[in-house]
Structure 1
């Protein structure tokens, strides 16, 4: 019985220690979002639509220099077609807003007393909450369904950056959408592509 009690106590101490190591952070920055459209033997990548992101995350150490980072993120995506392409006489763009749940595995490389370089990757799942289409001075807002776009999106995140010892973060990322966004277009797929840069703070 004493051995069992000691084992339980040790396990509780380990769990408490793991929780004590967990930290939390916020990141925000600029997204440069594009569509990658494919059909038949043709592939087209739109111009970048500038938007923003805000992410709250937890950093949970799982091994030396490795952390698991789940989070919740507000992500602005979409794409832009400049005047002159496809016969357009004005710029046209889509602004799409998602709530995303990323789950990244992050590796830290110590660089002395100043801080750490980090690299990471992991999946994300997103839910579209607002869509806006604009052409010239005209714009129309509505749901993803009204725009003929699937509400659900999923893909892979890649990230890198630098974390200072005071918790300040400088980071960049790339979101590789793997889900076809189109609902009713046969033989054509459209997927999100997002490059981001930003700053943050880990408490």
Structure 2
């Protein structure tokens, strides 16, 4: 019985310690987003369109220099194509998602200046707004109206530098694994997003 009580007490102390060490952060920056379209034996990658992202997250230490970072994010994705690729006028698709990432992050101390960090993890997202622009004409609506699936999922990769005062500089890449197109057999379109930004971890 004493051993069980000691084990429970040790577990509670560990949980309390982990909770005390948990910190929270906010990141924002620019997304350079593309579509990768594949069909048959051909593949096409759109030009990059610039959007924004804002992410709030928790940094939960699970081992020395290693943390899990669950979060919630507003992500602008999409892509653009110049006139002549598919239509007579230039096109741009602006897709807004609410995304839930879970990243696994490893920190490399670099002395008094701060830490370099690397990470990766899965994400799931729901599209909340779609806007398509062709030439001077724009149309906004739901993902379904645009012929797209609202659900997206994939992998995130990130790296950056965190200063000792909590300020951080980061870059990342989002690799979409879900086909966005509805009712088009033999053709897939997936999100590809490179991002840069700054943030602060409290």
- When normalised by structure 1's length, the TM-score is 0.96
SS of 1:144 mapped into structure 2: coil
Residue 181 of structure 1 aligns to a residue whose secondary structure is coil
Which residue of structure 2 lines up, in the alignment, with residue 84 of structure 1? 84
Structure 2: which 5+ runs fail to align?
none
Secondary structure of the structure 2 residue equivalent to 1:201: strand
Alignment correspondent of 2:96: 97
Aligned-residue offset at 1:36: 0.1
In the TM superposition, 1:1-203 aligns within 5 A as 1-88=1-88, 90-203=89-202
Secondary structure, counterpart of 1:9 in structure 2: helix
**Distance in 2 of aligned mates of 1:200 and 1:145:** 34
Shift of 1:13: 1.4
Q: CA deviation at 1:85?
A: 2.2
Deviations 1:20-50 (A, max 9, x none): 0110000000000000000011100000111
Q: Give the TM-score normalised by structure 2.
A: 0.97
Cα distance in 2 for residues equivalent to 1:92 and 1:62: 45
- Between the aligned partners of 2:38 and 2:183, the Cα distance in structure 1 is 15
Deviation at 1:124, TM superposition (A): 0.3
